Structure 1
Amino acid sequence: MCGIVGIIGRKDVAPLLIDGLRRLEYRGYDSAGIATLVNGSIDRRRAEGKIANLDARVREQPIDGTVGIGHTRWATHGRPNEANAHPHASARVAVVHNGIIENFQELKKELQDAGRAFESDTDTEVVVHLIHHHLDQGLPPVEAVQHSLKRLNGAFALGILIAGRHDLLIGARMGSPLAVGYGDGEMFLGSDALALAPLTQRIAYLDEGDMVVLTLEGATFYDADDQPVAREVRQTALSGALIGKGEHRHFMAKEIFEQPQVIGDTLNAMYNPAQGSITLPDLPFDLAAVPKVTIVACGTSYYAGLVAKYWIERLARVPVEIDVASEFRYRRPVLADGGLALFISQSGETADTLAALRHCKAEGQHTVAIVNSPESSMARESDAVLQTLAGPEIGVASTKAFTTQLTVLACFSIALARAKGAIDRKAEQALSGALAEVPGRAAEVLAHDERIRDIAQFVADARDVLYLGRGTSYAIALEGALKLKEISYIHAEGYAAGEMKHGPIALIDETVPVIVIAPDDEDELFEKTASNVQETVARGGKVVFFSDAHGVERMSETALYAIPMPTVNPFVAPILYAIPVQLLAYHTAVLKGTDVDQPRNLAKSVTVE
């Protein structure tokens, strides 16, 4: 998770910016930098590696200024070198950026044709040149930024400096969180309030699509239509636990709403937007020679692996076997010579999964860990690591760890398919491009939060709930049922929709909500699922239907509730459709009055068998 901090005040900001970045180190990063205005001009210091390197650079080459921005960054692709580190700048504009700009290639070509020269490999630099271009056309800074924001597609948070304007610091968000801190004659900007904790106790949050203009006197917020709006200023306690929840009531809610950003961060670590390709970290074996993939995980991570089984077999045409870790060793599985075993775990310490990893290593398998903790036991003991960049996940019920696991597995599936020659360059670009859209589309899904909260009123009264899906949506149905069970304590089961007539249909009556995950696709799965919905309704079942606009239109008169999801490539649909079932479980649990972040009998990491 990249981190942003910004300050406009009356004293040198460089030490404060570096301190703020240190409070964001928990997010993970591999380069850092700051920029300030000095006598009207932009001055920068950037460094590869840890903040200690940046601090040393600033001590060697001091940087003055009372207004500035700072950033910690995960490399998008290639080396995490100084040229790609933030802030990015031109003579007139400096920018720090979390997220992903989906249409940066189109904008970059347009700006290059207009004579703009680029110095980095990042998508962020287009924001710099776009704003600079509008300034050159005579627009004042605020309008130049507003015009530029309307050209950007994707999920992002931005901090912006304008040369010559010591009285101005601009922020903006679309799908990636950003907080404003209020001081005495100074103002602050941060990825989260934790970055600002020692500086202020008064915090406001940008809403989706907001832009904010900070001056020494305060903040002016503008909504997505460029209209001035008021945003609530809250008093916070200087406690990491309290501030860490941001504007949300629970950590789980905060972590659900962080997904556009962390999906983008995770994708950027493997996606080369300039080439439209996926580049995995160096692996100590040849992907093209892998005859079989074995996936081992527990709980939510297992369902991520189940989605990957569909992806890998369909794209790469490589057989996949998947097991619950607690069963894997005891059935004495047959492992292929030269096979690859994937182990998925948020913590990297799950006892059953770690034992399975050691078994596979003893059997001569290549091993790869997909973990959120790069120093964990699984990471240390595997041949290679594919890291999820979800940042700390406090809520016991996994949310952002799940969608970042899916993001990594999607990238892996594309890379394996390409290595095997099962897809060509054009197909790789199409699939990678679909993945690049996910952070922005995830923000669109979160806009349904209020509607899903209303639906939760209906679900909260139920004793039993069924979840249905086909293909990859079957795995999301299983995950949705698990989420509801974990935090609301309502009995729920996920089924392949085609299995309805083989038993579960006997449970259907007017008291049983049926949650249906049914993205439209090219395989006629939607038609079959729609038929299952009709069978459910005919028996008095009350259906909550998640589909794209076409599917919702077709089922609007049949389903009790129908939520329109973004229309996307079916390949990436599981990542997006995980989000509404998380929201439904969360709001149901809140209504039930359960301990959402620490549900009874559960632990975040299961470290005993």
Structure 2
Amino acid sequence: MCGIMAVKGVGAVNGVYEGLKNLEYRGYDSAGIAIKDCNGIKAFKSIGYISELEKTGVLDCSGGIAIGHTRWATHGGVTIENCHPHCSEDKKIWVVHNGIIENHKLLRSDVLAGVVFYGETDTEVIPKLIEQYYTGDVWQAFRSAIDKLNGSYAIVMMCEYDDKVYFARKSSPLVIGKGNGFVVSSDVNGLIDCSEKCVIEDNTLGYIDNNLHIYDKNTNKININWIAMDERSIEADKGGNEHFMIKEINEIPRALQSTYNSFLKSEVVLPDNISNVLLVGCGTSYHSCLMGKSYIERVAGIKSECVIASEFIYSNYIVREGTVGIFVSQSGETADTLSAIHKAKELGIYCIAITNVRESSITRICDSVLYIDVGVEVCVASTKAYTSQVLMLMLLSDVIARNLKCEGTCKEDVLGCNCGNCLEIRANEYNDLFNLDIKSYLSKVRGVSEEIVKKDKLHLIGKAVDYITALEGALKIKEVSYIFTDAYPSGELKHGTLSLIEEGSIVIAIATQGGILLDKSKNAIHEICARGGKCIIISQFPEEEFNEVIWCNDGKRCVKRGEYIPLPNLNSLLMPIVSIIPIDLIAYTVSVMKGYNPDKPRNLAKSVTVE
């Protein structure tokens, strides 16, 4: 969500442009670059993809300093006027900003009364505040303006008065890289050609001249901790695939193995006497939390609860003795999740992070961190990160079980033990997971997608963990195909939802649970088919198991009202990881059939860094 770039040094313009391209995956609807040369500062802006910015002639310019931004609209529409960078009235001060300035309306009517604004954004108050406070000392004016701001921000500023780049950070990520010059970015993936990086801590500000200077909010100088850059993991191409989404779905087996290896190398530190686990996330990460709750209760046998991060922040949560919090965020920068962690820590809860991004904000505020290590996920709709989050939560449930029940006697045996308390998954079963044949689904998925693409609504059902898979699958289809899709527990159909089923309705039924749960799932499928609906069944059980419920008599003849997508028959604990994959493929295929770009669904951002 929004990307910031600034480069001070040789090749500044091209560096900012290429950096913004590397931040495209975060989501945006407009882009802009401002360039400083010996004649002053000029800005170039465009609506839509960054490639549109190239048409403005920005790459024909040069300068020693450039700042750029990709905007995802929060305040004000998607217009050139609202596009960053924003400037002061005299156009000598230029700013890019991520976050939300919560008191911008008050500032407009108070300190900035009488000042002319050209747009609607909260960001525009920042350069105009700096201009108001400027009396010859840029650093003092910048600090005075920052003191007036309420809310969250990562701010980068340049001006015509000197050759410095100024920055400030509060509750929005910012990182600085060093190579031949300096690079400032909201994301480590923007640090092109840098050998070292410095993560800017919260509630700090500073500037870059020939060196980097960082200060706390009381203007005390902070020691700089340069860290060697890892090899960049983001890949500029799609690896021969049409979209990143299908590339990342195909990478799921490899990502799962990487997550498993990361877990083996991790040292999970847990407090003693855990009796309750709180799991918190947003969107897809919330669904992985729901799956984690199921694993923890099944494997560790203790109470668990899931809360959506934005709801937890404002809830009257009652802390039970022995509560541990698990907070899941692919990016590690999800604003709602970070706020939830701050609240949890105020309540005295021990916090564990599960994330994909090292040195992200979540890693610096939690007590313990587990990395899923799936590589950069570019597509807005999460696929490989979700399956790896679920695997990590399953493995973590085993650690909790061992701590509680095994008294440490079997901690070294990560493939299960004979105590009866731990995960009973053999090494070869993990290997089956790591060697899934994703492409084997494609022909079957294409057939059902050709039917779904004609519909304006879709339903998913499942029991127990299959209902959680239905929730995640519904989200994926909504995100990238824009078809209204909802998910229900199978047993709830007769309590109201069945009224939506009519001739031709399509329902995706996930049925991976055996025994009585399979019988109940078959009952729900029969209820749908008997009313003219068609079920797409996703299961590891033989197709013949469902023949009696998908063949229905319409009064004239026996009609088949179902399709079957087979899953590999793995350990029941692993089935939630594989059952989502065909639905991910359906979401992708339908999106492409409808002519959409599944990598960049409308109105959505990859990294949601505002509440």
Partners of 2:356 and 2:371 within 8 A in 1: yes
Residue 537 (structure 1) aligned with residue 536 (structure 2): no
Deviations 1:467-492 (A, max 9, x none): 00111111000001000000000000
**Whole-angstrom CA distance in 1 between matches of 2:426 and 2:489:** 28
Gaps of 5+ in 1: 1-239, 272-278
Residue 477 of structure 2 is matched in structure 1 by 484
1:516 and 2:491 aligned: no
Q: Distance in 1 between matches of 2:428 and 2:318?
A: 35
Q: Tell me how far apart the structure 1 counterparts of residues 343 and 423 of structure 2 sit (CA, whole Å).
A: 37
Which of residues 414, 420, 433 is equivalent to 2:404? Answer: 420
Q: Provide closer, same or farther for how the CA distance between residues 342 and 456 of structure 1 changes in structure 2, counting only shifts above 3 A.
A: same
Q: How does 1:103-118 map to 2 (within 5 A)?
A: none
Change (3 A) 1:306 1:434: farther
- Which structure carries more helix by proportion? 1
Deviations 1:162-210 (A, max 9, x none): xxxxxxxxxxxxxxxxxxxxxxxxxxxxxxxxxxxxxxxxxxxxxxxxx
What TM-score do you get using the length of structure 2 for normalisation?
A: 0.56
**Equivalent position to 1:431, from 412, 422, 425:** 425
- Determine if the alignment matches structure 1 residue 375 to structure 2 residue 356: no
Which residue is 1:571 aligned to?
A: 573
Q: CA deviation at 1:319?
A: 0.6
1:359 aligns with one of 343, 353, 357: 343
**Alignment match, 2:369:** 385
1:244 to 2:230 alignment = no
Question: How many Å separate the matches in 1 of 2:307 and 2:327?
Answer: 10
Contact 1:469 1:477 in 2 (8 A): yes
SS at match of 1:567: coil
Secondary structure at the counterpart of residue 507 of structure 2: strand
Opposite residue 589 of structure 2, the aligned amino acid is H
Structure 1 position 334 matched with structure 2 position 318: yes
**What secondary structure sits across from 1:516 in the alignment?**
strand
In 2, Cα distance between the equivalents of 1:433 and 1:320? 28
Distance (whole Å) between structure 2 residues aligned to residue 381 and residue 556 of structure 1? 53
2:267 aligns with: 281
Q: CA deviation at 1:432?
A: 5.4
One-letter code of the match for 2:524?
A: N
1:199-218 aligned within 5 A: none
The residue aligned with 1:193 is: none
The residue number in structure 2 matching 1:258 is 251
Whether 1:395 aligns to 2:379 is yes
The letter of the residue matching 2:248 is E
Partner of 1:527: 519
Q: What value does the CA root-mean-square deviation take over the aligned residues?
A: 2.0
Return closer, same or farther for 1:380/1:509 CA change in 2, 3 Å cut-off: same
User: 1:500 and 1:335 mapped to 2: Cα distance?
Assistant: 35
Among 524, 530, 544, which residue is 1:553 paired with? 544
Work out the CA distance in 1 between the residues paired with 2:274 and 2:488.
Answer: 31
8 Å CA contact 1:256–1:399 kept in 2: the answer is yes
1:374 positional shift: 1.6
The DSSP-based 3-state class of the residue aligned with 1:290 is coil
Q: 1:438 to 1:290 in 2, by over 3 A?
A: farther
Task: Quote the Cα distance in structure 2 between the aligned partners of 1:521 and 1:433.
Answer: 23
Q: Does structure 1 residue 456 correspond to structure 2 residue 420?
A: no
| Contact kept? 1:445, 1:566, Cα under 8 Å | no
Compared with structure 1, are the counterparts of its residues 413 and 241 closer, same or farther at alpha carbon in structure 2 (3 Å cutoff)? Answer: closer
Q: Is the 8 A contact 1:453 1:587 kept in 2?
A: yes
Corresponding residue for residue 585 of structure 1: 587
Deviations 1:314-336 (A, max 9, x none): 11111111001111121211112
Aligned to 1:409: 393
> 2 CA distance for matches of 1:602 and 1:499?
30
Distance 1:444 1:521, change over 3 A: farther
The structural deviation recorded for 1:450 is: 2.0
Partner of 2:260: 267
Return the offset for 1:596: 0.7
Report the Cα distance in structure 2 between the residues aligned to 1:600 and 1:429, rounded to whole angstroms: 41
CA distance in 2 between counterparts of 1:542 and 1:246 reads 36
Among 312, 320, 323, the residue aligned to 2:296? 312
Give the 3-state SS of the residue equivalent to 2:248 in structure 1: helix
**2:521 is paired with a residue of what secondary structure?**
helix
Q: Measure, in 1, the Cα distance between the counterparts of 2:427 and 2:304.
A: 25
- Secondary structure of 1:296's match? strand
CA deviation profile, 1:382-425 (whole Å, cap 9, x unmatched): 00101111100000000001011011001001111122117982
Task: Give 1:438 deviation, angstroms.
Answer: 4.7
Deviation (angstroms), 1:338: 3.5
1:549 Cα deviation after fit: 3.8
Displacement of 1:435: 5.7
**2:330 & 2:486 partners in 1: Cα distance?**
23
Give the SS at the match of 2:352. strand
Residues 528-537 or 409-418, more deviating: 409-418
Greater mean alpha carbon deviation, residues 423-432 or residues 403-412: 423-432
| Aligned-pair CA distance for 1:433 | 3.6
Higher mean displacement: 240-249 or 313-322: 240-249
SS at match of 1:437: helix
Asked whether the equivalents of residues 263 and 370 of structure 2 are also in contact (C-alpha less than 8 Å), the reply is no
CA distance in 2, matches of 1:556, 1:605: 44
Q: Is the 8 A contact 2:263 2:371 kept in 1?
A: no
Q: Match for 1:387: what amino acid? A: Y
Cα 1:432/1:346, change in 2 over 3 Å? farther
Distance 1:384 1:432 in 2: 27
CA distance in 1 between partners of 2:253 and 2:433 (Å): 4
Q: Kindly, what percent of the aligned residue pairs are identical?
A: 38
**Structure 1 residue 244: deviation in Å?**
2.3
The 3 A distance-change label for structure 1 pair 465 and 315 is: same
Q: Give the match's secondary structure for 1:571.
A: coil
- The secondary structure found in structure 1 opposite 2:317 is coil
Superimposed CA distance per residue, residues 457-516 of structure 1 (whole angstroms, 9 cap, x where no aligned partner): 011111110000111111000001000000000000011111111111100012321000
Shift of 1:242: 8.4
Structure 2 unmatched ranges of 5 or more: 1-232, 411-415, 551-560
Cα drift, residue 270 of structure 1: 2.5
Indicate the SS of the match to 1:447.
helix
The structural deviation recorded for 1:431 is: 2.6
Question: Hey, what's the Cα distance between the residues in 2 that align with 1:434 and 1:537?
Answer: 38
- 1:521, 1:444 → 2: CA distance? 23
Could you tell me how far apart the structure 1 residues matched to 2:479 and 2:579 are?
19
Is the 1:338–1:364 Cα contact (8 Å) retained in structure 2? no
1:1-20 to 2 correspondences below 5 Å:
none
Q: 2:287·2:471 contact (CA, 8 Å) conserved in 1?
A: yes
The secondary structure found in structure 2 opposite 1:305 is: helix
* 1:348 counterpart (328, 332, 349): 332
Say whether 1:503 aligns with 2:496: yes
Conservation of the 8 A alpha-carbon contact between 2:299 and 2:423: no
1:241: how far off? 8.8
Runs of 4+ in 1 over 4 A off after TM superposition: 240-243
Preserved CA contact (<8 Å) 1:337 1:364: no
TM-score of the pair, normalised by structure 1: 0.57
